[in-house]
């Protein structure tokens, strides 16, 4: 058997699993990658001290990297060696690619099963026949992500140079940051984190824009790209994602700005221009890149609570962002507006939304809220910490956001393991759950008599 | 015009409003009663000191009484005179009756509009023709509530006597407590509150049972009463309410017991029998009578958070309990189970639940959560208090529960007014919203083309 033939067989096998049990594929791939990254990090050469890291720290960092979360139990810049940081970056890259391709494959599976003629890759349908849809998808995802990452790195590299960083170090920091930004990972290898760049527009604007591109999701990027000459004709998914994302960014930024404007420990001490920039960063990072240029731990209780809500919603579907996703929120809100108006159909942008989609949105958000609630309850019992900081860290892990009030390193091992489980479920569980629900559809012949309980 | 004729005309007018704009009726009646009770309390004779109370304190207490909440800004037993306490008791009685009748009227309106033949008062249908359904309903509610309250008072009266309280004082305290228990009001005129009775089964068992009867709701009481010879044939609403109520009681009691068992400031210091009793009281009062025999302020963070969830759910529909109601939770859970199994219909107890009911449940719970979230955000900004205690007080007010970590008296006036609004909306808003949603049903001729956004 020649090599191309061998590869073709492997590709067909992957295609088969992807078609028939996409959820199992997602869990299997992610668990394997996390296991490998954990082993690679659990080595003496991975730390600057040359000592073998604790297993839980290695597992936590690997999960946080592959699930593009950004929560850390040890400081990325000082604890891990360059080898360790390189492993983390590769973990982020594979994790980000994995999320985007798997979510897109799940989306394909759903649309195929439901029998819609309109597919995710409508534009490139004809020429994908040879490679198979899945192979074509993966290629498109890789091209798009590398293109954005290279662009970001090319913008950031000269900035580090002008700050007096040596050329090689500048290149490394620019590449790491570019990968971390596009994949919404929130990891930083800069010695003092992002704090010194709180007023640095050259650094923070690419951060804001790169984060947003990564967080709207691959289907939106592809759809906008293929429809770039006739932007009015983008899909309902694209319209819903972009409008909800923009509304959350604007609303979140204004509210966080209002809450923190006079807080001397965060925005209050900054000049006006820096304050505006820092507010925008604080407004976009909950959805869900998790970078912070001001000290989250010093923010007001109300800012934490608002950020909780923003993180829980998260970013776009099939993106590197987490949370229940902006379309889920949009569909829920539209359903409630329709209910309040007494309409039979849920309508938006001159389109009707299938009731089955609304049921999935309800299940995803309700199950997400339940997981957050139960995890919070467990962590409150495992520690003596208060609700405000526990809830923040739990939602940050579940929504793979990575913002932190600073308690993660202080948690007991059991608490850290709980966050590992939360990051994994938040990353893999939400999207596979939604796909699994959308794929199931049992029909019963016998219908029971109807009866109405009283509600409210 | 003779008196009976005059009364008959008034009754017909009430019947007309009740039929055609029940929501406006509910808001109007409650606002008027609260205004009158506020004026009656805003008098020098209402206080033991003989000084005129602050207007916000009078408004807060009146709202808390009429909305049967039980949150207080001043101590009921020591601040208010006997006249003041009597006004509070009358407020509770009118509020409790009002909630039960209005909710039942709304239920009637919904079932009439939807055109179901099965009515709330099926059993007594034939003989209600003369008085009108609404008049008959009010009579049945009054009879049922007075019967339970008299029974409770007769059980509690000898207990106070045996504790050495003078006869007249015993009678007063027994009547006040009986009214407060059945109406799930949570007000107490005993000098040291309920704390001295933490191990008193004679006091606490009537509290637990009376609370439960009041909290399952009038439709359930009536249904069980009329079907007492064939309990298997109760309505779906009754079955759902009782099973969910029981599950929340058992689950909540076990969890709270586990969290507090060794807390020396709450259960830990008590003998075993007292501990069991106190746990049961702590397990039933979040749904939503709000009596506490142990110090809520000394409970563990996890107990607060669990109690938050239990209070938010609350009790039965058309009951004196608040919250989004147990049937709302049950219907949501059933819908998610059906979705996970891929079933087309939501089924339980050999019955199918109308999708319209599920949409109302989603709207009620989502809007409730939004109100709680926004109020929490506002109160966090108005004070320097932390999320744990703010969230607890906000949910307690919204769900008209009345449990408190003790911060209500410490709030600024603006915060107290916010709680007043929350109590009013929680009491009136939830049920009128649900009815209004169920009554609306617009049909459009043109249906838009369907499109599926990606969820999760
Ligand atoms: K992140
Ligand atoms: K109450």
Q: Which of residues 199-218 of A touch B (CB under 8 A)?
A: 217
Q: What is the pLDDT of residues B257-295, one digit of tens each?
A: 999 999 989 998 899 999 999 999 999 999 888 898 989
Nearest residue to B331 (alpha-carbon basis) of B307, B305, B352, B304: B352
CB-CB contact of A61 with A72 (8 Å) = yes
User: Is A456 close to B364, i.e. CB distance below 8 A?
Assistant: yes
Point out the residue among A107, A353, A455 whose CB comes nearest to the CB of B360. Answer: A455
Q: Where would I find the H helices in B342-444?
A: 355-382, 387-398, 413-424, 430-439
Cα–Cα distances (Å) from A118 to A327, A356, A361, B114, B312, in that order, read: 19, 18, 21, 39, 42
Q: What is the dihedral of CA A74, A75, A81, A87, to 10 degrees?
A: 70
Could you tell me how many residues make up chain B?
456
**Residue numbers of B between 66 and 125 with CB closer than 8 Å to A:** 107, 110-111, 114, 116
What pLDDT is attached to residue A115?
44
B435 and A CB contact within 8 Å: yes
Tell me the sheet residues that pair with A80: A47
Q: Do A381 and B345 touch (CB under 8 A)?
A: no
Q: Is A363 within 8 Å of B336 when comparing Cβ atoms? A: yes
* pLDDT for the residue numbered B440: 64
pLDDT band at B5 (very low <50, low <70, confident <90, very high): confident
CA distance A428 to A421: 10
**Below-70 pLDDT ranges, chain A:** 1-4, 6-7, 10-11, 13-22, 108-134, 439-456
Alpha carbon A240 to chain centroid distance?
17
Task: Say whether A387 and B304 touch across the interface (CB within 8 A).
Answer: yes
Please give the residue that has the higher pLDDT: either A180 or B113.
A180
Count of C-beta atoms within a 10 Å radius of residue B146 = 14
- Three-class SS state of A360: helix
- B375–chain A Cβ distance below 8 A for any pair: no
- Which of A15-39 are b and which e, b meaning 16 or more Cβ less than 10 Å from the residue's Cβ? beebbeebbebbbebbeebbebbbe
Concatenating the DSSP letter of every residue in B137-184 gives: HHHHHHHHHHHHHHHHHHHHHHHHHHTT--HHHHHHHHHHHHHHHHTT
Is the pLDDT reported for residue B336 higher than 90?
no
- As a whole number of angstroms, the distance between CA B97 and CA B242 comes to 21
Taking the CA of residue A397 and the nearest CA in chain B, the distance in Å comes to 16
CA–centroid distance, A71 to ligand 1, in Å, is 8
CB B215 within 8 A of CB B319: yes
Contacts of B361 in chain A (CB under 8 A): 455-456
Q: Where along chain A do its domains lie? A: 3-439
Nearest Cα of chain B lies from the Cα of A93 at a distance, in angstroms, of 21
- The mean pLDDT value for B203-222 works out to 90
CB hemisphere CA count around B450 (13 angstroms): 11
Taking the CB of residue B12, how many other CB atoms lie within 10 A of it?
12
* A233 in contact with B, Cβ within 8 Å: no
3-state secondary structure of A353: strand
Other CB atoms within 10 Å distance of the CB of residue A249: 19
Structure tokens at B338: 């059906």
Number of CB pairs < 8 Å for A and B? 252
Residue B263 CA to residue B253 CA, distance in Å, equals 15
Q: What is the DSSP letter of B80?
A: B
- Measuring CA to CA, which residue among A137, A132, A140, A190 is closest to residue A163? A190
- Would an 8 Å CB–CB cutoff place A2 in contact with chain B? no
Mean pLDDT for the stretch of residues B204-215: 92
pLDDT in tens, A98-124: 888 887 777 766 666 554 433 444 433
DSSP bridge partners of A450: B352
A48-84 CB burial, b ≥16 within 10 A, e <16: eeeeebeebbbbbbbbbbbbbbbbbbbebbebbbeeb
Q: How big is the CA angle at B70 (ends B64 and B75), to the nearest 5 degrees?
A: 100
Secondary structure (3-state) at B120: coil
Predicted confidence at residue B123, as pLDDT, reads: 37
Helix (H) or strand (E) holding A231: none
Report how far residue B65's alpha carbon sits from residue B37's, in angstroms, rounded to the nearest whole number: 9
Chain B nearest C-alpha distance from A122 (Å): 15
- Return the ligand number nearest the Cα of A72: 1
Confidence check: pLDDT of B319 > 70: yes
The model's confidence at residue B302, banded by pLDDT at 50, 70 and 90, is: very high
Q: How far is the alpha carbon of A268 from chain B, nearest alpha carbon, in Å?
A: 16
**Nearest CB partner across the interface for A456, out of B114, B347, B433:** B433
Q: Which residue, A109, A181, A194, is CA-closest to A145?
A: A181
pLDDT band at B27 (very low <50, low <70, confident <90, very high): confident
Report the separation in Å between the CA atom of B231 and the middle of ligand 2, taken as the mean of its atom positions: 29
Distance from CA of A360 to the nearest CA of B (A): 7
- Per-residue pLDDT, A421: 95
Q: Do A344 and B444 touch (CB under 8 A)?
A: yes
Contact present, B62 and B41 (Cβ < 8 Å): yes
pLDDT higher for B106 or A223? Answer: A223
Average pLDDT, rounded, for chain B:
85
Distance, CA of B109 to CA of B129 (rounded, Å): 16
pLDDT attached to residue B122: 41
The predicted structure's pLDDT at residue A269: 87
The pLDDT-based confidence of B115 (bands split at 50, 70, 90) is very low
Distance A290 CA to ligand 1 centre (A): 5
Give A401 Cα–ligand 1 centroid separation in angstroms: 4
pLDDT at B15 over 70: no
Query: pLDDT tens digit string along A192-225?
Result: 888 889 989 999 999 999 999 999 988 888 888 8
Contact A11, A47 (CB under 8 A): no
Assigned token pair, A16: 């088969």
Using the beta-carbon criterion (under 8 Å), do B454 and A363 form an inter-chain contact?
no
Residue in B with minimal Cα distance to A399? B456
Structure-derived torsion over alpha carbons of residues A285, A290, A295, A298, reported in degrees to the nearest 10: 90
Rounded (5°) CA angle A432-A436-A442:
175
pLDDT, tens digit (0-9, with 9 covering 90-100), for B127-179? 333 446 667 778 888 898 999 999 999 999 999 999 989 999 999 999 999 99
- Give the C-alpha separation, A73 to A410, whole Å: 8
Confidence of residue B227 (pLDDT cuts 50, 70, 90): confident
- pLDDT of A79 reads 94
A392 CB near a chain B CB, below 8 Å?
no
**pLDDT band, residue B116 (cuts 50/70/90):** very low
ipTM of the prediction: 0.87
Cis peptide before B288 (omega within 30 of 0): yes
φ/ψ of A335, rounded to 5, equals -65, -40
């Amino acid at each position: 058997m020649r090599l191309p033939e061998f590869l073709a067989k492997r590709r067909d096998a992957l295609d088969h699993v992807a078609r028939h049990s996409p959820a199992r594929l997602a869990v299997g791939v992610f668990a394997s990658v996390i296991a490998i990254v954990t082993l690679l990090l659990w080595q003496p050469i991975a730390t600057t001290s040359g000592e073998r890291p604790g297993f839980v720290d290695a597992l936590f960092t690997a999960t946080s990297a592959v699930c593009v979360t950004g929560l850390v139990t040890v400081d990325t810049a000082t604890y891990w060696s360059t080898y360790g940081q390189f492993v983390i970056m590769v973990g982020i890259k594979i994790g980000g690619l994995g999320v985007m391709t798997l979510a897109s494959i799940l989306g394909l599976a759903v649309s195929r099963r439901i029998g819609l003629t309109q597919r995710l890759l409508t534009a490139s349908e004809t020429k994908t026949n040879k490679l198979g849809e899945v192979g074509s998808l993966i290629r498109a995802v890789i091209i798009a992500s590398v293109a954005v990452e290279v662009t970001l790195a090319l913008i950031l590299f000269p900035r580090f140079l002008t700050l007096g960083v040596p050329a090689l170090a500048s290149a490394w920091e620019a590449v790491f940051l570019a990968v971390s930004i596009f994949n919404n990972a929130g990891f930083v290898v800069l010695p003092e984190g992002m704090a010194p760049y709180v007023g640095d527009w050259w650094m923070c604007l690419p951060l804001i824009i790169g984060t947003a591109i990564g967080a709207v999701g691959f289907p939106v990027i592809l759809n906008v790209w293929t429809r770039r000459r006739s932007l009015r004709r983008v899909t309902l998914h694209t319209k819903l994602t972009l409008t909800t994302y923009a509304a959350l960014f604007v609303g979140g930024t204004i509210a966080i700005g209002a809450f923190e404007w006079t807080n001397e420990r965060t925005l209050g001490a900054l000049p006006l221009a820096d304050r505006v920039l820092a507010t925008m960063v604080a407004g976009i990072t909950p959805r869900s890149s998790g970078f912070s240029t001001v000290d989250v731990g010093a923010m007001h209780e109300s800012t934490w609570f608002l950020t909780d809500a923003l993180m829980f919603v998260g970013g776009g579907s099939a993106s590197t962002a987490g949370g229940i996703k902006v379309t889920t929120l949009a569909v829920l809100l539209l359903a409630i507006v329709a209910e309040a108006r007494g309409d039979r159909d849920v309508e938006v942008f001159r389109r009707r939304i299938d009731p089955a989609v609304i049921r999935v949105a309800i299940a995803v958000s309700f199950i997400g809220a339940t997981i957050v609630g139960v995890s919070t309850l467990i962590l409150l019992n495992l520690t003596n910490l208060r609700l405000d900081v526990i809830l923040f860290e739990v939602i940050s892990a579940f929504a793979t956001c990575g913002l932190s009030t600073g308690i993660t390193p202080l948690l007991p091992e059991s608490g850290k393991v709980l966050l590992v489980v939360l990051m994994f479920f938040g990353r893999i569980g939400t999207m596979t759950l939604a796909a699994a629900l959308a794929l199931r559809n049992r029909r019963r012949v016998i219908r029971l008599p109807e009866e109405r309980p009283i509600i409210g």
